[in-house]
Amino acid sequence: GRLVRVLVDEELGAGLYRVSWDGRDERGEEVSSGVYCYRIVSGGFSEAKKVVFLK
């Protein structure tokens, strides 16, 4: 696999946040339907999961 896009790459203060992905890669091009992996990192917490993206 390859990195498709980084959605947030900055330190954020305490709070509740929502991040959504528009189905585009770093160049702004639409990605294909398929299974994508994502990773959330916050402080000492890290979690990776899969999501199905359908057009």
Cβ 17 vs Cβ 10: under 8 Å = no
Q: What is the pLDDT of residue 43?
A: 85
* Distance between CA atoms of residues 55 and 16, nearest Å: 28
**DSSP letters spanning 9-32:** -S---SS-------SB-TTSPBPP
User: What are the pLDDT digits (tens) for 3-29?
Assistant: 999 999 999 999 999 999 999 999 999
Question: Considering its fold, how many domains does the chain have in total?
Answer: 1
Indicate whether this model's pTM tops 0.85: no
- In which domain, by residue range, is 26 found? 1-55
